Amino acid sequence: MNNPRTWKVGLVGYGEVGRILAEDLRAQGVVVSAYDLKLDSAATAGPLQAHAAQHGVQLAASSAELAAGADFIVSAVTASQTVPVAQACAPAIQKGAFFLDVNSASPGAKQRAASLIDSAGGRYVEGAVMTSVPPYRIKVPLLLGGAFALELAPLINSLGFAAKVASHKLGVASATKMCRSVMIKGLEAMVIESFTTARHYGVEDAVVASLYETFPGIDWEKQAAYFFQRVIEHGRRRSEEVREVTETVRDAGLTPWSTSGTAERQAWVADGADAGWFGEKRSPEFARSADWRIEADRMLAQVSKKD
């Protein structure tokens, strides 16, 4: 277990994050297996199977099968699946195997997942991904927490991770992530709502010009295009994350007015993406416009159909 390059790494969740980690680990010769719920359906399994074949990733039939053969497990699923994945892996996890939970879940959810894994003999570590993964890939800034965080950090950093221990106490890393998401996911929702509404009234250029004047350090055109694209592509995952954020805020004794609205807006965009507002998801042009106005117009076109 002291040489991570000899580990068998199991990825639960083979979405964007899982595939990036798989690629970067396989490039170093690390043995990688993966499981994702989408593998259970012929309608969604194809792209994952193709990616696995291309990169030499072994596909497991279930979370339990994956856990049984892994020295190091990374859980990278949607927020709502944080505890269910721990429940599925716990009965089969190898004694002493590390379980890194990088899901965007509340401190309470992480603590429940940790109890399941640790009780089964695994070593649970919470992880908080602190910015978007694609630009950084495996080197994305990662905060670790829990009793085994200090032990795991240097091991995974030797594989290219950029992990830093936040606390030996569970919940600190995820609380940091959740509080950041109040701002980041909220800003995404506000930009989409503001800019799309401005587009409806024909005042978008004036609004953008005013924002440049007030916050000259931000390229609002570029930032808006990025926000629209990311929410259209990943709004479902984001909305689930923000629902975890609302629980984090509520547990602090505050009413999560802002985050509740953010979750609704993110989910609304996700519903539109599922309904085909922005084209077919299998198309390479899906949500790839460099001009946010195109996506805003698509949203407005759908809204006008309801009038």
Q: Over 90: is that where the pLDDT of 42 sits? A: yes
Mean per-residue pLDDT, 36-63: 96
Question: What is the reported pLDDT for 57?
Answer: 98
The fraction of the chain above a pLDDT of 90, given in percent, is: 90
Question: What is the reported pLDDT for 307?
Answer: 60
Question: Any idea which architecture 4-168 has in CATH?
Answer: 3-Layer(aba) Sandwich (3.40)
User: pLDDT digit string (tens) for 88-139?
Assistant: 999 999 999 999 999 999 999 999 999 999 999 999 999 999 998 999 999 9
Considering the domain 174-305 in this protein, what is its CATH number? Answer: 1.10.1040.10
Q: In sequence order, what are the residues at sequence separation of 6 or more whose Cβ sits closer than 8 angstroms to the Cβ of residue 14?
A: 22, 34, 35, 36, 38, 39, 48, 51, 52
Question: What is the reported pLDDT for 65?
Answer: 97
Q: Give the integer Cα–Cα distance in Å for 64 and 58.
A: 14
Q: Over 70: is that where the pLDDT of 30 sits? A: yes
Joined tokens for residue 150: 């200090």
| Among 119, 171, 113, 117, residue whose Cα is nearest residue 145 | 171
- Coil, strand or helix: which one is 218? coil
Question: What is the reported pLDDT for 281?
Answer: 74
Q: Over 70: is that where the pLDDT of 59 sits? A: yes
β pairing state of 31-35 and 8-12 = parallel
DSSP category for residue 125: E
Pick left, alpha or beta for residue 118 (phi over 0 → left; psi -120 to 50 → alpha; otherwise beta). alpha
Quickly state the pLDDT bin for 1 (edges 50, 70, 90).
Answer: low
User: pLDDT digit string (tens) for 215-250?
Assistant: 999 999 999 999 999 999 999 989 999 999 999 999
Phi, psi of 249 (to 5 degrees): -65, -45
Q: Give the integer Cα–Cα distance in Å for 53 and 55.
A: 6
Q: Over 80: is that where the pLDDT of 283 sits? A: no
Are 152 and 123 contacting, i.e. CB atoms less than 8 angstroms apart?
Answer: yes
Q: In sequence order, what are the residues at sequence separation of 6 or more whose Cβ sits closer than 8 angstroms to the Cβ of residue 305?
A: none
Q: Give the integer Cα–Cα distance in Å for 202 and 130.
A: 36
DSSP category for residue 57: P
Q: Over 90: is that where the pLDDT of 146 sits? A: yes
Question: What is the reported pLDDT for 280?
Answer: 80
Question: What is the reported pLDDT for 288?
Answer: 72
Joined tokens for residue 161: 């991770």
Quickly state the pLDDT bin for 284 (edges 50, 70, 90).
Answer: low
Q: Give the integer Cα–Cα distance in Å for 35 and 207.
A: 45
User: pLDDT digit string (tens) for 162-176?
Assistant: 999 999 999 999 999
Question: What is the reported pLDDT for 286?
Answer: 75
Q: Over 80: is that where the pLDDT of 285 sits? A: no
> Can you give the residue ranges of every domain in the chain?
4-168, 174-305
Question: What is the reported pLDDT for 112?
Answer: 96
Joined tokens for residue 168: 């030996």
Quickly state the pLDDT bin for 205 (edges 50, 70, 90).
Answer: very high
Q: Give the integer Cα–Cα distance in Å for 174 and 163.
A: 14
Are 89 and 63 contacting, i.e. CB atoms less than 8 angstroms apart?
Answer: yes
